[in-house]
Amino acid sequence: MARLSKQQQAEIRLKIINTAVELFTENGFETTSMKQIARAAGIGDATIYKYFANKDKLIYGYYGLIATKTTEQFLAEDDLSEYSLQEKFQLLIDIYLNNFLPNREFVCDSINMIMQSPSILFKDVAPVREEFVDLIANLLNDAEQAGEIAQSPFTDATAKLANDYLLAVLLYWVNDDSEEFSNTTQMVDMSLELGVEILRSGIVSKATDLVSFFVKAHLFRFMGSGFLNKLIMKKSFGL
């Protein structure tokens, strides 16, 4: 039997994920078996395990697929360099949620399941949660170089925080029953404006400088008074 190419493997993997999402939505996660998914996808009962070890991995695969698709679509956008930082974040969120929209029922059910049993997918979801960190870090670096936001020594930490913000938006969206998700739109508009304004102000760096100043000032004062040495001696030797 000829060995499958990477493209063929990717197509089979995609078919398995899409089939699983359909069956999970129709029949429920618990009542759907790996064998049912394999047969509905037109592959062997044992073949499916070469791609996914269990149903939990299939859910992880779906979210990973959406994250990759979102990143590719975002980077393929025309005239992206002409967008402001806020517009770029808005675009990223719009693409992200739109990719979930066709399977919103499954997304709601799977997220509720994860939230009820956070340990079930914690290890596997972690890489998906970090999918956008590098992309966001690049957006922040570009904005800093363009003078759009203040320079910060904590760009990587800010990128991780912004990445978690995307997850928070998703959680808000799955629980939004307003017409055309207007509440989500309003929440994103206000929070993005506030977030970008904070980055422009440089308050993150200023707060860090302030903390650093107090730490150093008090540290030197304690060292000068001999308090720190006495504390070390007491902790080390019980003096």
- Give me the average pLDDT of each 10-residue run along the chain (239 residues): 82 96 95 96 94 91 93 95 95 97 94 70 57 92 93 86 89 93 96 91 65 54 49 49
The pLDDT assigned to 4 comes to 84
The pLDDT assigned to 207 comes to 58
pTM of the model: 0.81
**CA–CA separation, 188 vs 222, rounded Å?**
46
**CA–CA separation, 92 vs 46, rounded Å?**
38
Tell me the Cα Rg of the chain: 24
Of the candidates 17, 18, 36, the one whose C-alpha atom is nearest the C-alpha of residue 27 is 36
The pLDDT assigned to 152 comes to 83
**CA–CA separation, 123 vs 57, rounded Å?**
10
The pLDDT assigned to 149 comes to 92
* E-assigned strand segments in the chain: none
Tokens of 75: 């980077």
Distances 20 to 84, 94, 189 between C-alpha atoms, Å: 38, 25, 34
